[in-house]
Amino acid sequence: MTVQSLTKKFGTNTALDNVSLTLDKGETMAIIGPSAAGKSVLLKCLAGLYGADGGKIILGGDDVSQTNAPARFDWAERIGMLFQQNALFDSMKVWENICFRQIERGTLTRKAAKEHAIDLLGHVGLSEDSAFLTPSDLSGGMQKRVGIARAISTDPEILLLDNPTAGLDPVLSNHIEIMISKIATQRGTTVITITNDMHIARTRYANLVMMYAGKIYWAGPTSDIDNAHNEHLTQMLNGSAQGPISMRMGKRGDQIVA
Ligand SMILES: Nc1ncnc2c1ncn2[C@@H]1O[C@H](COP(=O)(O)OP(=O)(O)OP(=O)(O)O)[C@@H](O)[C@H]1O
C-alpha cells in the first residue's frame, strides 16, 4: 500500500495535509497522535469511506483515492475496518452484525453465517450465547470485541482498526493485541491500528506513524523510535507533564511549539 500526498478537507479544515506513507503486505503499523490529528480520517480514506481531495492511495497498483474508482468496489471486499464507535446495528443480533456483509451479499447462508460468527466470537473471547443478543445488551468492551470480530470476518487483506483496545481492561487488551499480531503473522494481513496505548504501539507494531494537525511528524520502524531524536515523538510516547501537544500549540504554521 502506498499513500502519496493525500489531502482531505472538510470546508476550510484540512484534516489530511499531504500525507505519504508506504506499507508492505503483511506489515503492521500503529498510528499515534493527539486528538483531531487526522488519524480516523486517514483510516476512512483508506477504507474508501471518504474520497480524497488530492493525492493517491495505491492498492494493488490501482489508485483508489476516489470513492468511485473502478477498483474501489473490489477493495471494499478486501478491507476490514473497526470503527472508533464500533458502528454496530442495534436492530440486528450480534451474529448478524458480525456477518453483515456476507448475509447482504449472499456469500454465506444464514446458517453458515451464524456458525462463522460464533467461531469468531470465540476468537475475541466471547461466548456463543452472546451471538443471540443485540449490541445494546453488551458492555462497551464486549461491543468493541464484536466490532473486531466483524472486521476480521471476511479474512481481509488489510485490517484497519480505530482504537481496538480503547475501553478494555489490560488483560483483555493484551489478548486482543496478541490476536491481531497472530492474524498479521499467520494470514499475512496488513494491519494499521490507531492506538492511544504507547506500550502497545511500541511492542506490537513493526512500524509507527505519528500524526499531528493532518500531517505526519514522524514515521519509521518502531525499533528506531528511541533513537529518533524527535522531541515530539518522545513526548507522545512518554506522556508529558505539560499536557497534550495540541494544548501547547501556538498558531505558528506547521510548527509544533512545545
Ligand atoms: N465528517 C467530518 N466532517 C467534518 N469534519 C470532520 C469529519 N470527520 C473528521 N473531521 C475533522 O477532521 C479532523 C481530524 O479528525 P479525526 O477524526 O481524523 O481525528 P483523530 O486524529 O482520529 O482524533 P481522535 O483521536 O480524537 O479520534 C478534525 O478536525 C475533525 O473535526
Per-block mean pLDDT, blocks of 10 residues, the chain (258 long): 96 96 94 93 94 95 91 86 85 94 89 94 90 92 90 92 87 85 87 91 92 93 84 73 49 39
The domain of 204 spans 2-247
Asked if residue 256 is part of any domain, the answer here is: no
Q: Give the CATH number of the domain where residue 82 resides.
A: 3.40.50.300
Nearest residue (by CA) to ligand 1, atom 6, is: 10
Sequence-ordered list of residues with C-beta below 8 angstroms from that of 212, at least 6 positions apart, any chain: 33, 34, 37, 232, 245, 246, 256
Q: State the first-to-last Cα distance of the chain, in angstroms, to the nearest integer.
A: 33
Sequence-ordered list of residues with C-beta below 8 angstroms from that of 64, at least 6 positions apart, any chain: 48, 57, 58, 71, 72, 75
Asked if residue 193 is part of any domain, the answer here is: yes
Predicted complex ipTM:
0.98
For cell 450480534, the residue is: 94
Give residue ranges with CB within 6 A of ligand 1: 10, 13, 15, 33, 35-41, 84
Domain count, the chain: 1
Asked if residue 66 is part of any domain, the answer here is: yes
Cα–Cα distances (Å) from 210 to 18, 101, 189, in that order, read 14, 32, 22
**Ligand 1 atom nearest to 37, measured from its CA:** 21
* Predicted TM-score of the model (pTM): 0.88
Asked if residue 163 is part of any domain, the answer here is: yes
Asked if residue 39 is part of any domain, the answer here is: yes
For cell 529518533, the residue is: 228
Q: 15 CA to middle of ligand 1, Å?
A: 7
